Amino acid sequence: MAWFEEFEHRGPIRVEGGLRARSKRGSIGSTWWSRRFIDILERVCDKGRLTRGRAYARQGQVLSIDLAAGEVRAAVQGSRREPYDVVIRIEAFGESRWAGLEEAIAAQAVHRARLLAGEMPEEIEELFAAAGADLFPRDLDMDCSCPDWGFPCKHLSAVLYLLAEAFDDDPFLVLAWRGRTREQLLGSLAAGEGPGVPEVEDVPFAERLADFYAPGATAHPPERRPAAASPALLLRVFPPPGDLGRVLAPAYERMGEGPAAL
């Protein structure tokens, strides 16, 4: 086993322009949904390799991440010249299951409003469970082309931690991994609210990832908060009877312009 010990301890080949975690020390993940994902990993995975995976994520050893329904593929630079190929698979829900989930979400006006505003309500995990589905995966089918037999290896761990930070920035990636993009879900929820709901553009994961990670950055970026929803959204979520909505709409729009407009 001397060859493997030498391979294990000589360290990775440093790269320029890799995906680098924003967190510089301590735990990774700041929102409830990313911490939920990390908590699951840290309960079932080897703690030593998770620690080394955090170091890889912070050093920028992950070269690329591509997320699609049911699958994440990544390239990680280790101690060999060729990067390692990483694949992480989960169950992507089918159309019939998603139709039931969307119906359950749409029935909860507050959940629907928060999702339309770009937030992930914590209660949505219970909603998934009530429908017989797990929002966060209990089982991960993971593969890495490296020779390390640990589970997961540090290359897989690095990708998992970077996924958690990406989930911080965009909770809809959690749902996209399960098989529903932001555009599909919000389009379905908006369709149930009638006319006048603004369209939400779906940005490809690769573009969001490029904006999110700053290779070589050493300082934490300002905290990202969900954009404030339009005051008129309240009228669409809780429509008043009769023509009252038409009467109240101008006042709600003036509320969004600040005190000077009232």
Tell which residue, 103, 102, 68, has the closest CA to residue 88.
Answer: 68
pLDDT for 9 equals 56
CB neighbours (10 Å) of residue 202?
16
pLDDT for 203 equals 53
pLDDT for 150 equals 75
**pLDDT category of residue 57 using cuts at 50, 70 and 90:** very high
Number of H helices, E strands in the chain: 12, 4
Locate tokens 């490029």: which residue?
210
Give the mean model confidence (pLDDT) for residues 100-105. Answer: 92
**pLDDT category of residue 172 using cuts at 50, 70 and 90:** very high
List alpha helices for the chain, DSSP H: 2-9, 32-44, 47-59, 95-106, 109-116, 124-130, 154-169, 172-177, 182-191, 205-212, 233-237, 244-256
- The DSSP secondary-structure symbol of 65 reads E
Give the mean model confidence (pLDDT) for residues 221-235. Answer: 48
Cβ atoms of residues 111 and 127 within 8 Å: yes
